Chains A and B, each alone.
Chain A
Amino acid sequence: MPKRSDLKKIMVIGSGPIVIGQACEFDYSGTQGVKALKEEGFEVVLVNSNPATIMTDPHLADKTYIEPIEPNTVAAIVRKERPDAILPTLGGQTALNTALKLAQMGVLDECGVELIGARADAIAKAESRELFRDAMNNIGLKVPASAIIHSMEDMREAAKELPFPLIIRPAFTLGGTGGGIAYNMEDLEAITAEGLAASPVHEVMAEQSVMGWKEFEMEVICDKQGNAVIVCSIENLDPMGVHTGDSVTVAPAQTLTDREYQKMRDASIAIMREIGVETGGSNVQFGINPANGDMVVIEMNPRVSRSSALASKATGFPIARIAAKLAVGYTLDELRNDITQKTSAAFEPSIDYCVVKIPRFNFEKFPGAKDELTTSMKSVGETMAIGRTFRQALQKGLRSLENGAIGLVRTHEETPERPELMALLRTPNSKRLFALRHAFLAGFSIEELYEITSIDPWFLRQIKSIVDEEVRIRDFALANDTTPENPELVAQLRRAKEYGFSDRQLAAMWRRPESDIRDLRRETGIEPTYGLVDTCAAEFQALTPYFYSSYETRQEAIPAQCKKVIIFGGGPNRIGQGIEFDYCCCHASYALRDEGVQAIMVNSNPETVSTDYDTSDRLYFEPLTFEDVMHIIGLEKPDGVIVQFGGQTPLNLAVPLKRAGVRILGTSPDAIDRAEDRERFTALLHKLGLRQPENGAARNLAEALAEAARITYPIMVRPSYVLGGRAMEVVYDDEQLRAYFQKHIGNEQLEHPVLIDKFLEDAIEVDVDALSDGKDVYVAGIMEHIEEAGIHSGDSSCVLPPYSLPESIVEELKRETIALALELRVRGLMNIQFAVKDGQVYLLEVNPRASRTVPFVSKATGVPLPRLATQIMLGHTLAELKPESMHHSGYVSVKEAVFPFRRFPGVDILLGPEMRSTGEVMGIAGTFEEAYFKSQLAAGQELPMSGNVFISVNDKDKPHVVPLARELDELGFSILSTEGTAKLLKENGIHATRVLKVAEGRPNILDRIKNNEVALVINTASAVRHTARDAKSIRQATLQYGLPYTTTISAASAVVRAIAYAKRHHAATPAAMPPAPQVRSLQEYYGLNAAQ
């Protein structure tokens, strides 16, 4: 059954911004899908609000809509584009929910659009807890005992029948948002409230806890003829109770006999058929009772998922690509296995290596959040490691995390006291693997630890074997001579490498420099070999050069004799370093390939496009540590390496690589150091006559206090060499500075000083991205932040072109950018952060590397920055590349950040210098107001057109709030305020209703919020960061009830402008309704400029 000929135009829906539970993996799958459809000759229309994605590159789809993924907007696009079909299975839960909504709204019928991949009824069946439970009963499969409820009363009733603990899962949410484990009635009420609010259909399921059971996943793919194959089985190291996204997972399944595995396989296929998935990939999760093998079905996703991305990377089977082809009519047997190019795609991959995925957490960024793993996902990224054995893969994965671990064994870490250790073992948390190591060192037995953790004894025994080996390695150095002549040493070293120990671990244990270990290995011939990920365990010849390292006997990576460049990726996503950097790495690769240079990618992040086997000429799925990358460099002998695209991870390798004699393309590591090192940076600015805020550095508290007195408060304090504003705070007095040191620094004399800057209050922050070849500079984008300086640039919304800066300031920004780029001899990309206050420009930070805003600027201007930067690194000049000729304008682009606060109950949502956003969206329109409106909608903030606005601002912001309140009043909103603000507004002739603070009695503002009487919240924190419980509880309720809000006056002003615009320009729409959106593709925006 070949491709359908009745379809011509297909719409693909992306997944929107990166959030916890929905990350780069949907760019990976969407990009594969769009490419596959284009390859088949279809016209592809793409919708995605996330500018940092490869899929939204204008040349990929025929029409690219960077518009909010919400039903009204997507409906407008459907009506405009009239696609024959929508493929909703590649864009995660967001795309699936949107497609289902379009079907329910009647838009699909109205426009004659077919859903391909998954029909509406199948989506509903898989997603509705009730329908799913019935479907499973139909095919004789068990699900945990449960009740589905739509109100708190129902839940109280249901709880009488069901035993605690109960798992609460809201319907139609991703990554378990709003869910949790209730141990008692009090928990149950709190989680149910959260869950009902989080579920778009106000449906929540309370489920018998199968905590402690073993958890498995199966990745299935099927075609319309009914053929179905299992691409990969996955076993979770963490038992049920920990969200699978937060679990350490292993492929293939480790502890199932063939009989049990086949039972699960048969069940997976039966489930897919019962749900009615016509074609494509699905994921099924199972729980197994370790005592007797009882199997329950946990859930099923009729779409590609994070797990399917992992399965694709783990096996080499491109699930999304194949799913796209199956959706347009092909059957599995008509498609080839890309990797072998000979055998059929209708097969089940067999692997001969072990794959371990380890989640990356960022709890330290959310003070107040408990480091506890539950059924609601909290990890912000993940890393995957491939080894021949579980041990090897686990240790590789742990050193890929870049959280200080260099494997299971971390240096200088004392075993915690028993009560602390017990706590770490008993409740799953981000440190559990390390806690297990300490427990083994402390003499715990496998049986005891199984009792405490419910982690399968097989995994425990593997971890114990690593710890036992650690002890052997330590003891070895005490008792033996560690020269290469000692055959015992050679055997010990080889075994250590087989167990996945890094040179750094060995160096730490033997108290020798890492280079000694490397030398020892070289002298004794213990070097890694690279195996091929070939889908078939070596049964057939594979043609795709996708490699992993191990210590075996046969070298399969045979370097090509040609010009080649290695690109180092960014490793696991974390807040501050994510998809934006992967975007740059991918473009570097595409540019290299177009220039005829072999592109070699090294990365350890399974979610990304960069680790797709056909993004680069060669792919090494490896940790980004000095040892691991030097092995690849040693084998490949590249003409150069690129470190400036992958964020801080590869940048940290720049100096050691240069020292090792590796040629680094682009800006020199010395220039990077001049920008990073405080003293050299100040000297640089002096030389160029540029101004920076008054500043200093301190190596201890006393010095800091002295510096603060000199600079005068408020000051911005941060450690050096960090990304994403880690531990960065605005400090207003000595007391706060002491507290800062106590919390983040301690009493030690620091090697790298704490940096102290004068904090410029109410300054406008500006981001500039530029491109330079060392002779010329192209100022690519000037982005004016909406939030004032002091909010991390990654958390601010920004506008391109600037919307309030005078021309003279813009010119000054350009002048300074050019001066800096030339002085630093930047070859490639550079990002500068400025603050503008009282007509004066201050330099805050210079980063001679790709920045987080590069994809946004590339999309907003049409100039492919990372591509040009790569071409410059290869020797091209700006004069020949002519970026200005590619520049598009005539519209406004707004970037807005997206935050994970809902995942971290108890965390304050106030913005600050520490970055906490996980992703971003882009709004494009003819005016600032409309672009901002779209950006808010895309970020999940539907701005109200009427209703009550609650305003509560600090004293500093009071003067600014009056005009805002006046405008809101004129727009027909009613204003609610607490005493101080209400009084101020009344004095200025604005009607405001006073509401009680929480402490003032009831009904208070919280009651108003809970009764849905508030449509918008404007709440700024006191300048002196006070954690008044009242203000915080208001913000908590805002978050819990999903209200639109702003926590800065500058953003509030933008919000009011956007609402005013929307109301004025869409007077015809009913007052309570958001206006019908104006949608335009990127290609149309670019065309605007061409037409002018």
Chain B
Amino acid sequence: MKAFLALEDGFTLEGRSVTGACDTGGEVIFNTGMTGYQEILTDPSYAGQMVCMTWTEIGNYGIAPEDMESGRVHAAALLMRECCQVPSNWRSAKSLPDFLAEHGIPGIEGLDTRALTLHLREYGAMRGVVSTGTADPRELVAKAKALPEMAGQNLVTRVAPSAPWRLGDAGPEPAVPDARGAFDWGGEPGAPRVLVYDFGIKWNIVRMLKAHGFSPVMVPPSFTPAEAEASGADAIFLSNGPGDPAVLGAEIATVRELAKTWPMAGICLGHQLLGHALGGSTHKLKFGHHGCNHPVKDLETGIVEITSQNHGFCVDIDGVPNVKATHMNLNDGTLEGFAHETLPIIAVQHHPEACPGPSDSRTFFARFRKIVRESTGR
């Protein structure tokens, strides 16, 4: 079925829908990873975004149940050059088009994804729509313009949980606090308990926390500092998530409060919220960083890590007292991580949990484990 893509500035492309009729929109971004479409689709940070994969053969290895990064697809659409109908991989349980259709998310193939990427690189990420209904560019462009802009959008509310949960072997399960507000943390005896503020967390962050000896419980962004105090946690972790951090005033206030007393770590949106809370700011990048090949230099060791990235906003900490940059992107010099000089707080912009992408920066979890041990004795 023919499908049309239109951007708000009038750029259009023709393709084919692999998921039947569709009519939807969102911010159009590109991702340069050559593997990991399943992880990307299910990463809640992509909420509200239509993802253009720059690699051309998508869907070859199908969908594997173990590779989910959340319970569902969050991206608004998947834009591809070529979509594989019959995958080949021993772990594949279903095809990509079936998976997309099941989740009601359009998959469009036959697009000149390179032209689209070049356009986004030149003019920046922007709003767009895909439709099988009409080929009229004016109508489509008007629709794209009517969508809300990414800057200023609070998308966390769309993906964050409403109640505490933990990740069991079979998937998420509710975590109910006792009368005093304390959780049953489970895990190994003596394992540090980490309260994870879930703004749309990727499951592999939870898996990595567990692998590093933590007992994590995920809580909604509205979880108050007092509730955190009562929960029996040893440390706080701020997850990744979608949208513009600058509009998350309440969350930033919560983080500012938590930062006073807790050892803390943040990834991606968590990093951005910490940046704001400690006195820094964020700005929107022209087309963001979305891929698996960005070099990040650890400014302390000089080692370069190849990292998984997915962010449209960047933290600025220049002049913020007691906060020092710990990581820098070697491509554009943007901030990739910072640490507080007196408080046990660390954060990175990229994704040390990988999935998709390289595992070079997994040491982040060990660093977190270390500062928790140093400040709590656990």
Contact = CB atoms under 8 A, between A and B. Distances in A.
A539 interface: yes
Contact of A262 (B112, B297, B354): B354
B57 A354 contact: yes
B322 interface: no
Q: Which secondary structure dominates chain A's binding surface?
A: loop
A183 interface: no
B112 A552 contact: yes
A395 B38 CA distance: 29
B7 to A, nearest CB: 14
Given A531-B114, A537-B32, A553-B13, A388 B81 contact: yes
A241 to B, nearest CB: 19
Contacts of A254: 57, 60
Interface core residue of A293, A552, A556 (most chain B CB under 10 Å): A552
Interface core residue of B60, B86, B91, B303 (most chain A CB under 10 Å): B60
Contacts of B54: 350, 352, 537-539
Contacts of A963: none
Contact of A293 (B91, B112, B332): B91
Interface string B56-86: 1100110010110000000000000110101
Interface of A: 225-227, 229-230, 233, 252-262, 265-266, 290-293, 331-333, 342-344, 346-354, 388-390, 456-458, 461, 531, 536-541, 552-554, 556
Given A352-B117, A554-B115, A344 B39 contact: no
Contacts of B32: 350, 352, 536-537, 539
A227 B295 CA distance: 10
Interface string B294-319: 11010000111010000000000000
B331 A344 contact: yes
Interface in B96-132: 112-115, 117-118, 121
B223 interface: no
A258 B303 contact: no
B106 to A, nearest CB: 20
Nearest to B122: A541
Contact of A538 (B84, B121, B302, B332): B121
B364 interface: no
10 contacts: A225-B303, A258-B292, A261-B35, A292-B90, A346-B330, A350-B55, A350-B293, A388-B56, A458-B84, A554-B118
Given A291-B90, A352-B114, A389-B81, A347 B295 contact: yes
Interface in B24-68: 30, 32-36, 38-39, 54-57, 60-61, 64, 66-67
A344 B295 contact: yes
B89 interface: yes
A458 B357 CA distance: 23
A343 B331 CA distance: 4
Contacts of B64: 257, 259
A344 B333 CA distance: 10
A266 B360 CA distance: 8
A554 B114 contact: yes
A257 B34 contact: no
A262 B358 CA distance: 6
A539 B57 contact: no
A540 B331 contact: yes
B34 A350 contact: yes
Contacts of B294: 347
B291 interface: yes
Q: Which 10 A-B pairs have the closest CB atoms?
A: A258-B36, A344-B330, A537-B54, A258-B356, A458-B88, A258-B35, A554-B115, A348-B293, A350-B32, A538-B117
Contact of A258 (B82, B306, B331, B355): B355
Interface string B117-158: 110010000000000000000000000000000000000000
B359 interface: yes
Interface in B350-370: 354-359
A233 B35 CA distance: 11
Given A262-B358, A293-B91, A351-B34, A343 B330 contact: yes
Contacts of A331: 302, 304
A293 to B, nearest CB: 5
A963 to B, nearest CB: 68
B86 A461 contact: yes
B112 A252 contact: no
B87 interface: yes
B112 A333 contact: no
Contacts of B297: 333, 346
Contacts of A290: 90
A349 to B, nearest CB: 7
B273 to A, nearest CB: 26
Nearest to B88: A458
B14 to A, nearest CB: 9
B292 A256 contact: no
Given A258-B67, A458-B88, A350 B81 contact: no
Nearest to A293: B90
A354 B32 CA distance: 14
Contacts of B302: 225, 331, 333
Interface core residue of B88, B118, B294, B354 (most chain A CB under 10 Å): B88
Contacts of B87: 458
Nearest to A226: B303
B57 A390 contact: yes
A257 B115 contact: no
B304 A333 contact: yes
A47 to B, nearest CB: 34
Contacts of A253: 35
A331 B330 CA distance: 13
Contact of B33 (A226, A350, A353): A350
A336 to B, nearest CB: 10
A4 B306 CA distance: 26
A296 to B, nearest CB: 15
A258 B34 CA distance: 8
B304 A553 contact: no
A252 B55 contact: yes
A256 B213 CA distance: 29
A330 to B, nearest CB: 13
Interface string B262-295: 0000000000000000000000000000011111
Contacts of A225: 302-303
Nearest to A294: B90
A457 B114 CA distance: 27
A266 B359 contact: yes
Contact of B304 (A346, A390, A538): A346
A346 B55 contact: no
B67 A347 contact: no
A259 B66 CA distance: 10
B57 A389 contact: yes
Given A350-B293, A553-B13, A458 B60 contact: yes
B39 A538 contact: no
B277 to A, nearest CB: 31
A347 B84 contact: no
Contacts of B86: 457, 461
B315 to A, nearest CB: 20
Contacts of A540: 121, 331
A372 to B, nearest CB: 26
Interface core residue of A230, A332, A346, A353 (most chain B CB under 10 Å): A346
B293 A257 contact: no
A291 B89 CA distance: 9
Contacts of A262: 35, 354, 356-359
Contacts of B34: 233, 252, 350-351
A433 to B, nearest CB: 18
Given A388-B81, A389-B82, A537-B54, A257 B61 contact: yes
A257 B89 contact: yes
Nearest to B330: A344
Interface core residue of A255, A348, A539, A541 (most chain B CB under 10 Å): A539
A616 B303 CA distance: 35
A538 B35 contact: no
Nearest to A252: B34
Contact of B115 (A252, A344, A458, A552): A552
